[in-house]
Structure 1
Amino acid sequence: MRKYKKGFSLLEVVIVIAIVAVMSSIGVGFYVNYNKNVEIDSVAKIIIFDLKQVQSKAMIGEGGFKWGIHFANAADDYYEIFSTPTDYSNGAKVIVSTNYLSSGATFSDPATDMTKDIIFNKISGGTSASSVAIVAGSSTKTISVSSIGNVSVQ
């Protein structure tokens, strides 16, 4: 009677390693995409919160000024929360805070090297209809503000 050694052949080991490598590469792809979706959702929620907060400040007339957000698509994409008697270019504006987007997110609207302002009127909270688009990886979120001040995301 022959006695066989227990173990795996080289072919079996190579096949298992190949299967594990393929499964790992697929998993990493899904993980990266999932992280980008979480990141863009987080950035969108923060901007929506800030827009609603700024609108509230305008509606109660805090400081006696209009309130707005200045979006800048620059080397480091950021937005500034400000109050102003007229618009962002007014010398009497007061910048309350500057917020930078997380490293994986950028603005696609406003376009590169451009800016966009969303300014809410005192008391009514109305504004000119506008939108801002954020990109992270292959995901895009568009935050829209209607003329009556409703904020939505798509």
Structure 2
Amino acid sequence: MARDGGVTWRRTEKIDRFNLPATDTAEEVHVLAVDDSLVDRKVIERLLRISSCKVTAVDSGIQALQFLGLDEEKSSNGFNDLKVDLIITDYCMPGMTGYELLKKVKESSTFREIPVVIMSSENVLTRIDRCLEEGVEDYLNVCTENGGV
């Protein structure tokens, strides 16, 4: 993975380097998208749905943990019936950063194999290195004029 990030979604036998099943199979790729910005969440959702992915979007790392059943109360929205193939999360969110979410996912014996992609509008090399050390699949620098996706 390059420090400047970058992922291209293509319809091939596998979806790029994440080694996910192609979308023309019977099973959809399920992506958990985590971002506190409603606009950014909607953009991510739309792009992934265009690529024939099933998307569950939540607005915080805490909600992502609840969805996965990894929060302190161990509440789950029925993860046993739902498979997540990829987690895409913003880095800077109130309450829990994308880095903290990454750590929780990678500490879980159940979910540690799920690829996690972190997005940020800030290109901070120490932050990127820390995420790489923790096992992030990719770190996307998504700089835009308004700071969002």
In the superposition, the TM-score normalised over structure 1's length comes to: 0.26
Structure showing greater radius of gyration is 1
In the superposition, the TM-score normalised over structure 2's length comes to: 0.27
